[in-house]
């Protein structure tokens, strides 16, 4: 049976990771994510797991890739500046197809910017931070319960699609304490990576099944693993032929983008008859839901959508949620307009408005309400 606790978002992420089966953490402390490291250093060793404090975020990301390949579900946590350093080996994990989870507790940037303050400026860093054509899965909790639930989900997606997954929270959610049901592993769905079933001699670490995902052996198995961050063929040797480069990049892209129906998830509030719908994520979505309720009292037919999956953008889910009466969208986020770019790109037939804040403070319900009133006139 699970336990009801009163926890910080950062702690709930660790509880979620442990419930999902994670037994390895490597990281470098950074505000406002350090409580994730602290909780991991406390929780993992008694379970026979490992907490390793690395010399920087580059090494942290590398270490969780290595440990995952040795067969332990692995994670790290950081904030914007640390995620910038992790981008090199995040790309490695995408190219090498290594499951692992990165928790990014966002803060104000760029650079050392507003180190102790709130922001949602990592929307595009999580999507496009590492170089080259690639795609990535990012989940975005808006409550402490979701920190637990979506970290479990992040591990599941990571294992299922053999790819790194980012859990993007922010300073407010990371430090927010709420009631959370820390579910027992027996009560939740836990997905483990596909393992090879062929004889060891036939194993090719990058030969994909029909679903586009290759089974993954572990170091120490009789199935020899050849992991490669360079453009490679099925056996893991470098292969730079134009045909191979075209096919491999496409497979890595398709295995995620073709499964948005499975990966995408949203939470809706009064969208059925809404004429204007707020699209938001993370803590701003809490403000959005509240402001939609206040707007209804003021006679505005408003609804709200929380993106629980930020990337790939959950287009089919959002499209389905928007009723026939919706003609306007309001994108609420704590940055100068990053998610808005994607919403504008996807919903060309709608009027897309923005409400932004980048002062280091949370976007408040009444601020979204004011903007709703403004665009509803």
Partner 1 sequence: MKENWQVVLAGEGGQGLVVAGILLGEAAVMDGKNAAQTASYGIASRGGLTQSEVVISDGDIAYPAVEDPDIVLALSRGALDKYYGKVSEECIIIYDSSLIPGDFKGKRVFGLPLSDKVEGLKKEKGLRVALNVLSLGALSGRTGVVSLNALEEAIKKQFKRGFETNRESLKAGFDMARSSCYFCSQ
Partner 2 sequence: MTDYRDYLREELFPQMWCSGCSHGISLGSIARAMAALNLERHKTVVSTGIGCWGKADDYFRTHVFHGTHGRALSFATGIKVAKPELTVLALMGDGDGVTIGGNHFIHSARRNLDMTAIITNNFNYGMTGGQYSASSPEGSITTTSKYGTMEEGFDICSLAIASGATFVARVNPYHVTQMDKLIAEAIAHKGFSVVEILSNCPTYFARYNQKASAVEMMKYFKERSLSRKKYDALPEEEKENYFLTGKLHQVVKDDFHKKYKDLQKRARETAEEVS
Q: Are 140 and 165 in contact (CB under 8 A)?
A: no
CB of 255 to partner 2, least distance (A): 21
Q: Which residues pair with 167 in a beta bridge?
A: 103, 139
**Closer Cβ to partner 1, 287 or 356, answer by number:** 287
CB of 290 to partner 1, least distance (A): 4
Backbone Cα Rg of the chain: 21
**Binding partner 2 by CB under 8 A: which of 110, 185, 220, 316?**
220
Cα–Cα distance measured from residue 28 to residue 33, given in angstroms and rounded to the nearest whole number:
10
Classify residue 275 by burial, with Cβ atoms within 10 Å: 0-12, 13-18, 19+.
middle
CB of 23 to partner 2, least distance (A): 8
67 binds, among partner 2, partner 1, none (CB under 5 to 8 A by kind): partner 2
Contacts to partner 2 from residues 255-284, by CB under 8 A = none
Cα–Cα distance measured from residue 240 to residue 211, given in angstroms and rounded to the nearest whole number:
24
Cα–Cα distance measured from residue 101 to residue 112, given in angstroms and rounded to the nearest whole number:
24
259 binds, among partner 1, partner 2, none (CB under 5 to 8 A by kind): none
**Closer Cβ to partner 2, 23 or 354, answer by number:** 23
Q: What is the dihedral of CA 30, 35, 40, 42, to 10 degrees?
A: 130
CB of 207 to partner 1, least distance (A): 48
Binding of partner 2 at residue 110 (CB under 8 A)? no
175 binds, among partner 2, partner 1, none (CB under 5 to 8 A by kind): partner 1
Cα–Cα distance measured from residue 338 to residue 345, given in angstroms and rounded to the nearest whole number:
11
Q: Are 91 and 103 in contact (CB under 8 A)?
A: no
Classify residue 111 by burial, with Cβ atoms within 10 Å: 0-12, 13-18, 19+.
exposed
**What are the structure tokens assigned to 352, written together?**
């897309």
Binding of partner 2 at residue 192 (CB under 8 A)? no
Chain contacts with partner 1 (rule: CB under 8 A): 4, 6, 116, 143, 172, 175-179, 283, 286-287, 289-290, 293, 362, 364-366
**Closer Cβ to partner 1, 109 or 196, answer by number:** 109
Q: Which DSSP helix (H) or strand (E) runs through 328? A: strand 328-333
Q: Which of 148, 137, 158 is nearest to 75 (CA)?
A: 158
Contacts to partner 2 from residues 226-245, by CB under 8 A = 226-230, 236-238
144-152, 164-172, 214-222, 312-320 -> range binding partner 2 (CB under 8 A): 214-222
130 binds, among partner 1, partner 2, none (CB under 5 to 8 A by kind): none
**Closer Cβ to partner 2, 65 or 180, answer by number:** 65
DSSP state of 108: B
**Binding partner 2 by CB under 8 A: which of 6, 45, 195, 262?**
45
Site residues (vs partner 2, CB under 8 A): 23-24, 26, 42, 45-46, 48, 50, 52, 54-56, 58-59, 62-72, 74, 88-89, 92, 96, 200, 218-222, 224-230, 236-238
């Amino acid at each position: 049976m699970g336990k009801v606790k009163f926890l910080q978002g950062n702690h709930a992420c660790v509880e979620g990771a442990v419930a999902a089966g994670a037994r390895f953490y490597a990281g470098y402390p950074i505000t406002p994510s350090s409580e994730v490291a602290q909780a991991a250093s406390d929780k993992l060793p008694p379970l026979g797991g490992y907490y390793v404090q690395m010399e920087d975020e580059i090494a942290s990301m590398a270490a969780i890739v290595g440990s995952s390949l040795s067969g332990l579900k692995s994670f790290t946590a950081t904030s914007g500046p640390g995620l910038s350093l992790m981008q090199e080996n995040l790309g490695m994990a995408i190219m090498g197809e290594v499951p692992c989870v990165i928790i990014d507790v966002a803060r104000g940037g760029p650079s050392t910017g507003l180190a102790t303050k709130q922001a949602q400026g990592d929307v595009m860093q999580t999507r496009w931070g590492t170089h080259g054509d690639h795609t990535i899965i990012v989940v975005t909790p808006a409550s402490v319960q979701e920190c637990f639930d979506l970290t479990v989900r992040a591990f599941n997606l990571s294992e299922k699609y053999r790819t790194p997954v980012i859990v993007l929270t922010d300073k407010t959610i990371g430090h927010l304490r709420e009631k959370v049901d820390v579910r027992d592993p027996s009560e939740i769905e836990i997905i483990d990576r596909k393992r090879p079933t062929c004889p060891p001699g036939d194993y090719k670490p990058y030969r994909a099944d029909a679903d586009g995902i290759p089974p993954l052996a572990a170091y120490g198995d009789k199935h020899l693993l050849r992991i490669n961050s360079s453009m490679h063929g099925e056996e893991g040797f470098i292969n730079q032929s134009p045909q191979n480069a075209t096919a491999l990049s496409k497979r890595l892209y398709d295995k995620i983008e073709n499964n948005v129906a499975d990966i995408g998830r949203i939470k809706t509030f009064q969208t059925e008859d809404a004429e204007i719908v707020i699209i938001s994520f993370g803590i701003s979505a809490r403000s959005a839901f509240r402001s939609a309720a206040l707007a209804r009292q003021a006679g505005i037919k408003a609804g709200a959508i929380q993106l629980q999956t930020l990337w790939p953008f959950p287009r089919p889910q959002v499209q389905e949620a928007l009723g026939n009466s919706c003609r306007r969208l309001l994108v609420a986020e704590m940055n100068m307009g990053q998610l808005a770019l994607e919403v504008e790109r996807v919903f060309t037939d709608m009027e897309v408005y923005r409400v932004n804040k980048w002062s280091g403070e949370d976007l408040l319900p009444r601020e979204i309400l004011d903007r709703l009133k403004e665009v509803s006139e």
